[in-house]
Amino acid sequence: MTSKRFFTPPFETEKSLMHRLSGMYEEVQVTTVEGIGCFRCSKKA
């Protein structure tokens, strides 16, 4: 049986996620829990 490979590279890192969100939002908070990235953002005015 072969795996279905739902998740394919490239994977987002905490640093790259923070960088990408910072370009779109004014306030960005990023935390990670094991393999999950959690973020909270506020719109730019």
pLDDT tens across 9-45, in order? 778 889 999 999 999 999 999 999 888 889 999 987 7
pLDDT of res. 27: 95
Residue 4 domain-assigned?
no
pTM of the model: 0.67
Do the domain assignments include residue 1? no
Residues 6+ positions from 15 with CB-CB distance below 8 Å: none
Domain that holds residue 25: 14-43
pLDDT at 7: 64
Query: For residue 29, what pLDDT is reported?
Result: 95
Mean pLDDT of 4-12: 71
Count of structural domains, the chain: 1
Structural domain includes residue 35:
yes
Distance of CA 20 to the CA centre of its chain: 8
Please give the pLDDT value at position 36.
87
pLDDT at 9: 72
Q: Is 5 inside any structural domain?
A: no
